[in-house]
Amino acid sequence: MISVIVATRNNQLLQQLSDNIQKSIGLEYEIIAINGDKAGKGICRIYNEGAAKAQYPFLCFVHEDILFHTQGWGLNLLKHLRQEDIALVGVLGATVKTRTPSEVFIPVDNLVRFNQLQRRTGKTPEHYFYNPNKEDSSEVKVVDGLFLACTQVNHARYPFDEQTLKGFHGYDIDFSLGQANNGKVVVVYDILLEHFSYGGHSVSWIDDQMILLKKWHAELPAYLPSAQKSILKAEINSTEGFLLDLILNRYSTATQLSYLLKLLALRPFNSKNIYFIRRFFIRGTLGKQLKKLFSSSVH
């Protein structure tokens, strides 16, 4: 009944996940694993190819570095996907997507919803759970890509955008915003999985976020009514995080400066701005250029 689609790079992780699914899913299934590295394919293309090969009406797109802890989780998933008003199911999401590039997770007020185990290297997994309204499922604006589930019909109405997003980032936010036209995007709490890694914010992540922003600029910020009072805090949080990513990756000076100015405009005369100004001049691309110029003038 469920086609599980995996973009794989590691045979050991794939085998571990396959064994886990076989023991836990609780119904008829298939696993479609595609190695994008060998073929030079981005994750959107991999997922669309997997969906095209799927023989079952329900699709589940997952990272290979996870394990399911809920016995019979496939039955729980079908219960949600069979509700006509639900288009996309995840296990970690947020009720707002800021205009500023960001992860799905935004640690502001009560904007996040999730039920997930996160393993840190060499440590016992930590259980993160937040369901403030004690719901079976919570409507959100975006869900994280470690677990995405929808019907074949809804995937066909809005497939992963392989023409715009050719890498391995931003696909989950894009898919969430697109699937919202088909129905509700929700986080569910009766599927518990464990995730083994944390995503990194590399130059390629920044590039894909900028592409995503260009595509959805007119619709952002996107948020549920319950999140409206927290939009400014969310934008400030996202801008702080993205500016640091730009600085640490020594992204273009112009882009760094544009987000520094945006942060100053969002909260003028705030003492916290000094930290980001210092990081821009000392650690950023401009700081590197000034050091090089000073060094050459001395010699």
Terminal Cα distance for the chain, rounded: 71
Q: pLDDT tens digits for 127-137?
A: 999 999 999 99
State phi, psi for 197 to the nearest 5 degrees.
-140, 165
Q: pLDDT tens digits for 65-108?
A: 999 999 999 999 999 999 999 999 999 999 999 999 999 999 99
Rounded CA gap, 138 and 199, in Å? 24
Q: Read off the pLDDT band of 286 (50, 70, 90).
A: low
Residue 210 resides in a domain: no
Residue 208 resides in a domain: no
Predicted TM-score of the model (pTM): 0.92
CA distances from 170 to 52, 230, 244 (A): 21, 23, 18
Please tell me the chain's helix, strand, coil percentages from 3-state DSSP, rounded to the nearest 5. 45, 20, 35
Boundaries of domain holding 108: 2-202
Q: Are residues 86 and 42 in the same domain?
A: yes
Q: Where residue 181 sits, what CATH number does that domain have?
A: 3.90.550.10
Would you say 44 and 162 are in contact if contact means Cβ atoms under 8 Å apart? yes
Least confident of 37-41, 45-49, 239-243, 293-297: 293-297
Cβ partners under 8 Å of residue 241, min gap 6? 102, 103
What integer is the mean pLDDT of 32-47?
Answer: 87
State phi, psi for 284 to the nearest 5 degrees.
-75, 180
Would you say 8 and 35 are in contact if contact means Cβ atoms under 8 Å apart? yes
Rounded CA gap, 100 and 282, in Å? 23
Query: Any idea what DSSP says for residue 27?
Result: S
Q: Are residues 171 and 69 in the same domain?
A: yes
Q: Are residues 158 and 276 in the same domain?
A: no
Domain count, the chain: 2
